[in-house]
Amino acid sequence: MKRKYFFLIFILASMIIMPQRASIEVKAISPQKLKDLGLTTGSVSSGLKVFPLETYMYLTPRNIANTQPVTAAVFTFTTKPAGSNASFTNFGTDNSVYFKSDVKGKYEINLSITTSGGTDDTTITVFAGKYVGVGNFDGVPAEYPNCMSCHGFTQKFVDIFNEWKNTGHALKFKRSITGTGYYNQSCFKCHTTGSDHDNVAANGGFDDVASELGWTFVLPLNPGKWDSLKTGFPKLSQLANIGCESCHGPGGEHTSGSFEAIGISGNSGTCAQCHDQVGYYNIGAQWENSLHSAPVWSGSFAQGTASQNNNLQNCIRCHDGQGFINFTKGKTTNTTGWVQGNQTHIGCPTCHDPHSNEIRTTPAGSDTLANGYQYSVGGHGQVCMNCHKLRRDGKNFATTQVTNANWGPHYSNQTDIYLGQNAAEFGTPYNSTAHSLFLTNSCVDCHMQASPDSTSPNYNKVGGHTFSLSNNGQDLTAKCQPCHGNKTHFTDFVATVDWDGNGLLEAIQTEYDNLYHKLKWYLPPVGVDSVSWQAVRDLNNPTINKAYFNYRVFAYDKSRGMHNTKYTMEALRSTIFALGGILNVETGITDVPMVFALNQNYPNPFNPSTTISYAIPEAMEITLVVYDILGKEVKTLVKEYKQPGRYSVTFDATGLTSGVYIYSLQSEKYSATKKFVLMK
């Protein structure tokens, strides 16, 4: 028994004294990071463990066991290629170092860290190599050691090559030297494989092979330049693209058959080598300002075998970049024993297939909400919808007993609210606004609208790949204006119904805030501006459980009623009434537009019918007429006196031939015309 106690004490002491766990992060360094960090190396880095000869690798020490900071770190080379004089140089404030490879081959690096809890060591192996070129590009047969001289015999890689060969990455250089406009050698560092950035390196990249073969770039651009290069310099043509090695690292050391000597990553570092330079390529800076760049971690993500699936309750399919990629391919992710150091952030390759340059598609069945509702709308935004949805259904689950603080819906459930689904109901379904019918690409249309220009304090902090619509007092409303008029702030969107019953027509978000606080007041413990999940649990009343479910649903949507105003407000009001709450009921307030507007029809193209919506700010006689492309009248849809408001009409083109048609809205004071396409 004493031996058992001694063993337990020893284990506990070990856990207290040595909880730290050392890890070496190969740091991705973009052109922007070179500038921000004040580095003079002139060498970008993909963040892979495979990097070009005579360039720099950047390393950062991490403690991945807990939150104790690394107070000291010592990097040493365990082994280096024969003849190497590589050494470490410190930079930054987090004990980071860099070194320059001077001989190709394998470098083994040891790290010893110190934290308040003790010390720990770890080792990684990295490879410095030379470029070998793609092979088979644009009809030039692969020759060893080109990538496709080996991979061209495996269908998996042939399929990848065929996806890539017609993309902008593959053809950018070819199109540029044969096109018109501005182009020069400064573009080569991103549009070819292996060209030096600012650090001069001899590693078999495009610039080195061009020098070796005697090819030089001379203006002007002309259509024959590519054929001349391909015919006269076939070896060079296989580096004249953004090819395999631009993202996987140079393949020279991989040709011996070592799987370690080629890289693959789900992080954004490979893309940032070219797509992160503020003022030129802003995507990287925008993404850095997004929440996706700093993913949420929980120890619960390390799941047992039974939980490693891709259903809505699985954490890793959405909280890990590689986990989401696996989900899109119908694969599961083994997270047994994971710590935060294993996590891949939500980056470029998470949403964009790097081989096809297309938005990732998802498996059959992923277009279904937790309540079984299947959606087909969303366009490019469907990639967002895969994660931004409820993990529980509001009909059956919402009545179950609350068990803990995490019971119920999950965070970021915007898809359900946008589509008007999955809030718990109390007898009558809730109405919805028409956003999902008019926004072709849903989330993308609004949340990725253009960021303000460089004169704005919110430059690269809203819009684009920040996915944010508000920051520091600025709201992006450009996508709202075609339908809602010249509104520049979300506070300009005034409710057309006194939803909160206080006798005032206020901004939609103000109406929401007032309703939400009233709901909070009526939930247990009742009468205070807070909610106790323990009190809800102890009462275990199905109506209260449903109300608590809705309380959390709309909190996690975070749009404060903007995603789907009618659905949100009706659900909140219904929930308050179900709890015995009191609201003044005001009806008969109409939605009066501020401007005359004729909206683009939806869908477009269409067959056989489509919906045309329009808005008139005052009472007037209007006509809405469809014409063919020659101006011949096809059908009068509306000809009557209308009160101010928003209207829609369906046009049925049965019996008409495919083609472009025109629809025109006319009044004494206003007129508007648009085109639409009938495609049979």
| Second-level CATH architecture of 597-678 | Sandwich (2.60)
Question: Which range has highest mean pLDDT (2-6, 564-568, 642-646)?
Answer: 564-568
Beta-strand ranges (E) seen in 312-439 are: none
Is 597-678 in the same CATH topology as 16-129?
yes
The pLDDT, as a whole number, for residue 290 is 96
Q: What share of the chain is helix, strand, coil (3-state, %, to 5)?
A: 30, 20, 50
H helices then E strands: how many in the chain? 24, 17
Residue 313 has pLDDT above 90, yes or no: no
Query: Quick one: what percent of the chain has pLDDT higher than 70?
Result: 96
- 165: pLDDT confidence band, cut at 50, 70 and 90? very high
Model pLDDT, residue 331: 93
For 166-217, the pLDDT digits (tens) are 999 999 999 999 998 899 999 999 999 999 988 999 999 999 999 999 999 9
pLDDT of residue 590: 44
pLDDT tens, residue by residue, 315-324 = 999 999 999 9
Rg of the chain over all Cα atoms, to the nearest angstrom:
30
The whole-number pLDDT of residue 257 equals 85
CA distances from 18 to 10, 95, 123, 298 (A): 12, 20, 18, 21
Residue-wise pLDDT for 53-71, tens only, equals 999 999 999 999 888 999 9
**Stated pTM of the model:** 0.81
Read off the pLDDT band of 519 (50, 70, 90): very high
All structural domains of the chain with their residue ranges:
16-129, 137-249, 379-578, 597-678
pLDDT at 444 over 60: yes
| Chain centre to alpha carbon of residue 427 | 37
pLDDT band, residue 586 (cuts 50/70/90):
very low
Report the share of the chain in percent with pLDDT over 90: 81
Res 1 pLDDT > 70: no
Task: Give the residue with greater pLDDT, 161 vs 527.
Answer: 161
Q: Kindly list the distances between the CA atom of residue 422 and the CA atoms of 228, 390, 393, 671, in Å, as whole numbers in the listed order.
A: 61, 8, 6, 41
Strands 118-129 and 50-52: parallel
**Reported confidence tier of residue 600, pLDDT bands at 50, 70, 90:** confident
Structure tokens belonging to residue 207? 């610039």
Tens of pLDDT along 387-411?
999 999 999 999 999 999 999 998 9
**Whether pLDDT at 369 is above 90:** yes
Query: Would you say the C-alpha torsion 32, 444, 601, 496 has a positive or negative sign?
Result: negative
* Residue 229 binned pLDDT confidence (cut-offs 50, 70, 90): very high
Name the token pair of 63.
């403690």
The two three-digit tokens of residue 170, written as one number: 């593959």
Pick 586 or 548 by higher pLDDT.
548
Please, which pLDDT band fits residue 568 given cuts at 50, 70 and 90? very high
Whether the predicted pLDDT of 162 surpasses 90:
yes
Question: How far is residue 629 from each of residues 73, 477, 633, measured CA to CA in Å?
Answer: 73, 33, 10
Tell me what pLDDT residue 347 has: 94
Cα–Cα distance for residue pair 358/621, rounded to 1 Å = 47
Backbone angles phi, psi at 289, to 5 degrees: -90, 5
Name the token pair of 124. 């990684």
Q: Which amino acid is at 411?
A: Y
- Does residue 18 have a pLDDT over 60? no
My answer on whether omega of the bond before 525 falls inside 30° of 0, hence cis, is yes
Q: Provide φ and ψ at 437, rounded to 5°.
A: -85, -25
Backbone dihedral region of 373: left (phi > 0), alpha (psi from -120 to 50 degrees) or beta? Answer: beta
Average per-residue pLDDT in the chain?
92
Looking at CATH, the fold of the domain delimited by 16-129 is given as Immunoglobulin-like (2.60.40)
Which is it for the CA torsion 242, 248, 251, 255, positive or negative? negative
